[in-house]
Structure 1
Amino acid sequence: MDSKDRAPTRGWGRFLHFLGRHWWQGIAAVIAGVALIAQLVSCSTEAPDKSPQPNVVNGNCNVKGADSFIVCNNNSAATPAARLEVTELSVGIRKAVRSTWTEEEVRKEYGEETVGYGPVLDVTIKNSGGLATLASRISVTFSQAFHLEPCVPVGGPLGVSANYDIAIPEPPPATPFVVTKDVAYEFPSNKYERFTLTIGPKLIADGGTPLIFVADVELIQDGGSKLKVGRVAVVDTGGHPYFYPDGGKWVIERVDDDEARRCMGRNRQKVREVVEEDGLVLSAELSSLATSLAQFA
């Protein structure tokens, strides 16, 4: 065999020798390879089968079934929690305070208990959520609490022990101070609820001047969340025979000498500073007091 007919023994030489003698078989192999690759690409791009598979439960996630895979189609919205908001808040002197005279002979004459006048908060709250909630505590933070000056001194041994929901110590301590009360107010879902809260001094002394206080009221729910009811400024009736509210106005009598007028001028300034504070819910009696004291400017 001469050198022209000898087949290469390795590498590209053998492959080129094969194509030279069997070129038509090489072309057919290339065409078959291209067709196979095209078929594989076509299969990989087909849309997946969306039909339910065996043992698959389509529906709500709460469906139960043995040996079944659950496909969750739960589109229901989560139940909303309780959501409280104060829709109305007013404060003023009302006849809603139970009290007891401190002297035995007076108690016998007037009875063991009587209903007197004092500051009352009237609150309306809406629960716009989907669940009921329970309020377990009321917290009142006093930023101011003081008596006006007794410009016309009077007085005696008598006094009234008042049964307020929130009782301010007498004399009032240094501010700020907090007084709390355990309650049990239930607020049903999607309803309005109204309640009242009385606030005032534990003891109203005969001849005592009106007490003014500024306080932030909060309602604390069972879970610990807090609802700000409001920031209020209130004056009580006091026990002074010549300085007291009467039918929307104030009786201020026997302020005859210069010292008494200067004293009332100091009371005027204190009241003015309170009513001019922004963001307060003022009682009608406190606003009226500011107007009545303006004469002592």
Structure 2
Amino acid sequence: MPDFPNIIVLAIPFFIGAMLVELFVTTREKFKETKGYQPKDAFASIAMGLGNVFLGFLSKAIVLGSFFLVYEHFRLFTIPVAWWGFVLLFFADDISYYWFHRISHECRLFWASHVVHHSSQHYNLSTALRQTWSGGFYSFIFWLWLPLLGFHPAMIMLQMSISLLYQFWIHTEAINKLPKWFEAIFNTPSHHRVHHGSNPIYLDRNHAGILIIWDKLFGTFQPELETEKVQYGLVKNINTYNPVKIAFVEWAHMLKDAFTGKKSLKDRWHYLTKPPGWKHDGTGKLSEDLRKEWLDAMDN
């Protein structure tokens, strides 16, 4: 068992220092038009992050156990803990993250945990800490093919942490655009601002972890438009700073939709598997419907 450090826990002092620097920078004149830091919102995000770390000790035991089960009994190859193994893993992990992230926007069962990260109407480094309390217990299924291929579970966990650590710094308005070559290849603050937008044109776009190339390859890329300022949050905001409500309000709404009222078994199942906004009576609007309406309005 390779002895890799828990880099997320080690990075906590860096998170705190970076937020203090960002707070100083964004209080300057040029950022007065942004929402910046709002104390209650920032503390709610930090509370969500701490809860994620504490629950992570339990969820990571389940994840590691599942990875080891696949690795020890079903792996097809044995990829050594070597530099070239980490190079392969970098790309394998990143495409796994892309599909996990995309499905988390397209399937309500996964959205129920992921919505936590989008629930803030502010966008700053504290928003990066607004992490799920439930997703860690089942989202790992998108990475099960990695131990099956032969990547050691410890390698996978380390690379997943590296990806999460990378995504911290892109949650800011203090960085506008980076050099074109970097914007073309990597996920950046500009790309990720789009992802957090509730504007119809920005919904369900830019699901990248580290490399933005996956969005460009699979048709989910949207550049940040100078003519369309990003409005952060949800299509219907939850308007609460209570960490418990933030963590579980969408679970409550989803389960109510699925298991109450007169509906067919098929419709109940669809409330778990269809995208957010779907309704069995046809009155719901999906993000693609809202985007089409927005584009039609722009053309007229």
Q: TM-score scaled by structure 2?
A: 0.22
Structure having the larger proportion of residues in helix: 2
- Using CA pairs under 8 Å that are at least 6 residues apart, name the structure with larger relative contact order, 1 or 2: 2
Q: TM-score scaled by structure 1?
A: 0.23
Structure having the larger proportion of residues in strand: 1
Larger Rg: 1
